[in-house]
Amino acid sequence: MIIKDVLCPFCGCLCDDLAVEVENNKVVDVQHACKIGSSKIMGHDRIKAPMMRDDKKGEFREVSYDEAINEAAKILANSKRPLLYGWASGVCEMMKKGVLLNEEVGGIIDNTASVCHGPSALGVHEKGMPTGTLGQFANRADVVVFWGCNPVQAHPRHMSRYSVFAKGFFATKGRRGRKVIVVDVRKTDTAELADEYIQVNPGMDYIVMSAIRAIIAEHADVVPDNVGGVSKEKLIEIAETLKSAKFGIIYFGMGLTQSRGKYKNIDNAVSLTTELNANTKYSIIPMRGHYNVTGFGNVCAWETGFINAVDMSRGYPYYNPGETCSNDLLMREEIDAAFIIAGDAGAHFPAQSIARMGKVPVIQIDPFHNPTTEMANIVIPTKVSGVELEGTAYRMDGVSLRMRKLVDVDFPSDEEVLDKIIAKVNEIKGASS
Amino acid sequence: MSELLIKNATVYDPINGINGDKMDIAVKDGKIVDSIGGGAQTIDAQGRLVYPGGVDAHTHIAGSKVNMGRVMRPEDSRSGIKPRTKITRPYTGYTVPNVYAMGYRYAEMGYTTAFEAAIPIMKARHTHEELEEIPIIDKGGLTLFGSNWMVMDAIRENDLERLAAYVAWGLLASRGWGVKIVNPGGGEAWGFGKNVSGLDDPVPNFEVTPRQIIRSLAEANERLNLPHSIHLHCNNLGHPGNYETTLDSFDICKDIKPKRDRQALHVTHVMFNSFGGNHWGDVQSKADVIANYLNNNDHLTIDMGQMIFGSATTMTADGPVQYANARTFKARWSNGDVELEDVSGVTPLYYSPNVYFYGMMWGIGQELALLTKDPWKVLLTTDHPNGGPFVNYPEVMTLLMSKKKREEEISKIVPKAFEHCMIHTIDRELDWYDIAIKTRAGHAKVLGLIEQGKGHLGIGADADIAIYDIKPDETDATVEYDRVKTAFRKAAYTIKDGRIVVKDGEITATPMGRTYWVRSKVDNDGYNRMMEDLKMKFKDYYSINMANYMVQDEYVQHPVVVETEYAEV
């Protein structure tokens, strides 16, 4: 059986044109997907059963779901400062349950954006975000900028589906009708495909942007001969190209959000975009990583008023990045229990945070073994969303789509596990109050 | 099932012509009934004011714009906070409340139904995800069609059957209730950073005019026999001198024959479209001219879009106006283009009473309501949260009921404002009956919800009832406006489907409301031509596949689907 129009549970492109062949409840072939997406859908070794251990250095023993869930609930109910982290590789339905669980336990809920596009959110607080759907850019854009991102590696179908090679109503020539500019500290594979590659010195993105803004504002006279490794002549040329667009689009990645300047880079990039709109049309959009990391920001915002890093210890949502993000809390050694779901803290957190996680009980909900498993005391395997489970995901541009189920498995969904944990937490808290 | 008796109520139910009568109201199984047995739960209203549950025909409560407002404005979410209780989830936000506060605050004011005013079809799933989490109230939404390629191509090719078929399909795809048109054609122009300048300025690359878009959609709307009329946000919003475009837009639908007992055209937040003058220096209210038009024509209704001083988060599919606002006031700016369909913008603003044109805008909203004789023609809205948040409706109610209240407020506004408007010269004061029309009955009529049991208390109506802690017989609203406002802010009881959901202004239960949408039958040939065009547009221009586009049933858990029949005009 071939299932068509399948959504890909890998990156923020959320491609929805896959065809997946299923035989005897097994995925046997994936068409149209990139290699990474295909590999995820084809599946690989997964955690077979719930596991627990008291000593993080000891061996896991297999336990029942009930035992693992009860123990997880006990840890969360008795914790004074639980961290609920991850919430990326899952569907929105489970994220809603996560926000509720966080209310019940008075913890902190934080999404992987915390170590990824979190600074983009701060940029939005400062300046807003003039953006649009990816099809708008495919149909219209004639100038395309990739700043600090490398879609060839990280979003393999982005350029063909949306940004560079895609043809559209106005962009009838596809690649030939577009000027592609790549700004990066190193010559990436994406840069190899560009019309213009601008190599900035590491950490100098902000001032390069400021120089371009000055030139666009007709203050080229204040720009020195060389800014952040880029000649003034080149900067003037780039400013002219940007201004010449009928429709320009700036895609940015972690090269901006996680380098020197962080959210200030986004603030500046949004200002540049806004100013370019005085004479033509420009949009800007973050290249989001996980296929539904954008969904968490949406769910968290409509449920709590805040996009991420929500502390519920006061009984109401409190948001203060720098204080309430996972690594702020871990480094201050406030966290006394960690609940990691659909994200991998073990692989992406700095050593100091990992050290703290080594000292507190860690519960992991995930289909797959990953570095977080190494620190976990309780591991509860669940369904792979978008392969074994239907549900909602938000593409990087905020378009929400419904992921399909391709095969049936016996594992519970994240949502089912969360429901049971919430019920058990209430039972424990109810008995003690 | 449950029975409830409200005794000794002073009832205002304009749809049934009840004007302050002393009566009992009987409720059974969530509906108003003639009478019930003796054992029912009883509320003794002791002569207090009873209205049908409030209905809001135009508000922005869900979807990507609203959520962008929340993401942009953590400072807003830090206001209005209320911790969770055993019954309620936490409240956050003032202009852009979280989903829970949306439902709770409407219910606390005695409102039981609210319609989201702008759903982009491609993002409708998101809108419904939020609507599904707004507790207590019933909901619906209006779908954006005013800059849509399918719409403009059908109009240019003069194919009204195809247009109607697409509108029906778009309503199905978005699970929408009615046709919303925002700055017709301007959204497409904004795709390249441009706008349309007036009703006869052709949309670039599509060669149709805003006038044609409005007219054709109005005709398609009647062919589909939709419960609501087209719902128009006029071109040139916010520009001095725009009242002429507004009057001209009114005229476009003058000879449209509505298929139902309702207006042929609803024009929204007209406050923003009633400006005379040539620039911000000589801008002036033309509310008197607009009201005069309404007094002499019966084919249309409007809503106020009353402005409230303080913080607002403006959000609209009128993309260009938002960019202009952001640049003028150096405010944050978010934009949200939607491929092939429309655009949008979100910009926080602060309406200061020290700025004369904000004072003028404050005046215009009320002038529209007070100078238009027929209360059914002008609904009370703030275009939440564009003019201000909906929690201020009680403020607006008392402004309309009391000249003294208006004078008190006028004294806090920069006097120059009143060189630009006429609110200070108006003596009219609305009564309890008028307010019932402007906050529930009129909204239900305009939306086509009377048949669905909304906006009234007749036998068979939904038992959505508000009891306010005020005795109309003993209260002079023209003087005791503070007390009236307090009463309207926190209902003594809000009853939803026969169940008490608010008591003494506090939430007591949080049932989930329903979502209303329309499924229309269409002309077969028109449908086939439309489908051919639609498939081509998905294949060549949309960034998602058609199979993944339409909102699935999972996203509307408590639907009420109204079916309509197609008919040639």
> What are the chain B neighbours of A141 within 8 Å (beta carbons)?
none
Note the residue count of chain B.
Answer: 569
> What are the chain A neighbours of B552 within 8 Å (beta carbons)?
402
B448: left (phi over 0), alpha (psi -120 to 50) or beta: left
Whether A77 and A210 map to the same domain: the answer is: no
Report helix, strand or coil for B3. strand
Min Cα distance B558 → chain A (Å) is 17
User: For the residues A282-299, what does the mean pLDDT come to?
Assistant: 98
pLDDT digits (tens, 9 = 90+) for B511-545: 999 999 999 999 999 999 999 999 999 999 999 99
Of A96, A302, A315, the CB nearest to B98: A302
The label of the residue with tokens 């036998």 reads B459
Asked whether the bond before B385 is cis by omega within 30 degrees of 0, the reply is yes
Whether A279 and A298 map to the same domain: the answer is: no
pLDDT digits (tens, 9 = 90+) for A179-204: 999 999 999 999 999 999 999 999 99
B304: left (phi over 0), alpha (psi -120 to 50) or beta: alpha
- Alpha-carbon gap, residue A74 to B161, rounded angstroms: 62
B65 touches A: beta carbon within 8 Å: no
Q: Which residue of B has its CA nearest to A398?
A: B64
Assigned domain for A41 exists: no
A302–B326: do the CB atoms touch at under 8 Å?
no
- Alpha-carbon gap, residue A10 to A227, rounded angstroms: 37
Assigned domain for A33 exists: no
Closest CA to B497 of B25, B10, B28, B24: B28
Handedness of CA B147, B153, B155, B160 (dihedral sign): negative
Specify whether the CB–CB gap between A419 and A388 falls below 8 A.
Answer: no
Residue type, B498: G
Whether A107 and A155 map to the same domain: the answer is: no
Whether A154 and A184 map to the same domain: the answer is: yes
CA distances from B321 to A30, A149, A362, A387, B188 (A): 46, 32, 50, 43, 14
Handedness of CA B114, B115, B117, B120 (dihedral sign): positive
Assigned domain for A24 exists: no
User: For the residues B235-239, what does the mean pLDDT come to?
Assistant: 97
Structure tokens at A277: 């709109």
Specify whether the CB–CB gap between A284 and A120 falls below 8 A.
Answer: no
Whether A138 and A273 map to the same domain: the answer is: yes
Closest CA to A8 of A34, A47, A26: A34
Q: Does residue B1 carry a pLDDT above 80?
A: no
- Alpha-carbon gap, residue A302 to B84, rounded angstroms: 15
User: For the residues A198-226, what does the mean pLDDT come to?
Assistant: 98
B327 touches A: beta carbon within 8 Å: yes
User: For the residues A285-292, what does the mean pLDDT come to?
Assistant: 97
Min Cα distance A330 → chain B (Å) is 23
Mean pLDDT for chain B overall: 97
- Alpha-carbon gap, residue B217 to B178, rounded angstroms: 11
Residue B551: DSSP 8-state: P
Mutate to test the interface with B, among A16, A302, A313 (most CBs of B within 10 A): A302
- Alpha-carbon gap, residue B332 to A125, rounded angstroms: 8
Of B96, B100, B544, the CB nearest to A16: B544
Structure tokens at A148: 């600090």
Whether A143 and A267 map to the same domain: the answer is: yes
Structure tokens at B406: 């208006």
pLDDT digits (tens, 9 = 90+) for A347-379: 999 999 999 999 999 999 999 999 999 999 999
Closest CA to A299 of B262, B144, B565, B70: B70
User: For the residues B213-242, what does the mean pLDDT come to?
Assistant: 98
Whether A137 and A228 map to the same domain: the answer is: yes
Min Cα distance A428 → chain B (Å) is 16
Instruction: Tell me the count of A-B CB pairs closer than 8 A.
Output: 191
Helix (H) or strand (E) holding B300: strand B300-303
Residue type, A211: A
B95 touches A: beta carbon within 8 Å: no
**What pLDDT was estimated at residue B569?**
61
Backbone angles phi, psi at B544, to 5 degrees: -125, 160
Please, which pLDDT band fits residue A44 given cuts at 50, 70 and 90?
Answer: confident
A398–B336: do the CB atoms touch at under 8 Å?
yes
User: For the residues B116-131, what does the mean pLDDT come to?
Assistant: 98
Assigned domain for A19 exists: no
pLDDT digits (tens, 9 = 90+) for B431-464: 999 999 999 999 999 999 999 999 999 999 999 9
Q: Does residue B568 carry a pLDDT above 90?
A: no
B61 touches A: beta carbon within 8 Å: no
**What pLDDT was estimated at residue B38?**
84
pLDDT digits (tens, 9 = 90+) for A299-344: 999 999 999 999 999 999 999 999 999 999 999 999 999 999 999 9
B71 touches A: beta carbon within 8 Å: yes
Final residue of a structural domain among A256, A286, A316: A286
Final residue of a structural domain among A267, A286, A305: A286
Min Cα distance B375 → chain A (Å) is 35
The CATH number of residue A139's host domain is 3.40.228.10
B548–A277: do the CB atoms touch at under 8 Å?
no
Specify whether the CB–CB gap between B248 and B215 falls below 8 A.
Answer: no
3-state secondary structure chain A: CEEEEECCCCECCCCCCEEEEEECCEEEEEECCCHHHHHHHHCCCCCCCCEECCCCCCCCEECCHHHHHHHHHHHHHHCCCEEEEECCCCCHHHHHHHHHHHHHHCCEEEEHHHHCCHHHHHHHHHHCCEEECHHHHHHHCCEEEEECCCHHHHCCCHHHHHHCCCCCCCCCCHHHHCEEEEEECCCCHHHHCCCEEEECCCCCHHHHHHHHHHHHCCCHHHCCCEECCEEHHHHHHHHHHHHHCCEEEEEECHHHHCCCCCHHHHHHHHHHHHHHCCCCEEEEEECCCECCHHHHHHHHHHHHCCCCCEECCCCCCEECCCCCCHHHHHHCCCCCEEEEECCCHHHHCCHHHHHHHCCCCEEEECCCCCHHHHHCCEEECCCCECCCECEEEECCCCCEEEECCCCCCCCCCHHHHHHHHHHHHHHHHHHHC
**What pLDDT was estimated at residue B205?**
97
Q: How, if at all, do strands B465-468 and B493-496 pair?
A: antiparallel
Assigned domain for A278 exists: yes
B339–A133: do the CB atoms touch at under 8 Å?
yes
Cβ burial, residue B475 (10 Å; 0-12/13-18/19+): middle
Share of chain B above pLDDT 90, in %: 99
**What are the residue boundaries of the structural domains of chain B, listed by start?**
1-569
Rg over CA atoms, chain A: 23
Report helix, strand or coil for B307. coil
Please, which pLDDT band fits residue A45 given cuts at 50, 70 and 90?
Answer: confident
* Residue A214 structural domain: 118-286
B339 touches A: beta carbon within 8 Å: yes
Residue B82: DSSP 8-state: B
> What are the chain B neighbours of A129 within 8 Å (beta carbons)?
68, 72, 334-335
Final residue of a structural domain among A270, A286, A302: A286
The CATH number of residue A400's host domain is 3.40.50.740
Q: Does residue A149 carry a pLDDT above 60?
A: yes
A135–B327: do the CB atoms touch at under 8 Å?
no
Specify whether the CB–CB gap between A284 and A250 falls below 8 A.
Answer: yes
B336 touches A: beta carbon within 8 Å: yes
Q: How far apart are the first and last CA of chain A?
A: 54
- Alpha-carbon gap, residue A250 to A146, rounded angstroms: 6
Helix (H) or strand (E) holding B351: strand B345-351
Whether A163 and A99 map to the same domain: the answer is: no
User: For the residues B63-85, what does the mean pLDDT come to?
Assistant: 98
- Alpha-carbon gap, residue B294 to B301, rounded angstroms: 8
Query: Which B residues in the span 142-161 are in contact with A, Cβ-Cβ below 8 Å?
Result: 149
B72 touches A: beta carbon within 8 Å: yes
**What pLDDT was estimated at residue A431?**
78
- Alpha-carbon gap, residue B499 to B508, rounded angstroms: 10
Q: Could you tell me where the beta strands, DSSP code E, fall in B29-164?
A: 31-33, 41-44, 49-52, 54-59, 111-119, 138-144
Note the residue count of chain A.
Answer: 433
Q: How far apart are the first and last CA of chain B?
A: 44
- Alpha-carbon gap, residue B228 to A267, rounded angstroms: 43
pLDDT digits (tens, 9 = 90+) for B467-516: 999 999 999 999 999 999 999 999 999 999 999 999 999 999 999 999 99
Specify whether the CB–CB gap between A230 and A198 falls below 8 A.
Answer: yes
Largest pairwise CA distance in chain A: 72
Domain count, chain A: 2
A399–B333: do the CB atoms touch at under 8 Å?
no
Whether A265 and A322 map to the same domain: the answer is: no
A5–B335: do the CB atoms touch at under 8 Å?
no
- Alpha-carbon gap, residue B15 to B24, rounded angstroms: 17
pLDDT digits (tens, 9 = 90+) for B27-51: 999 999 999 988 899 999 999 999 9
Assigned domain for A39 exists: no
Q: Does residue A432 carry a pLDDT above 90?
A: no
User: For the residues B355-364, what does the mean pLDDT come to?
Assistant: 98
Min Cα distance A355 → chain B (Å) is 32
**What pLDDT was estimated at residue A433?**
61
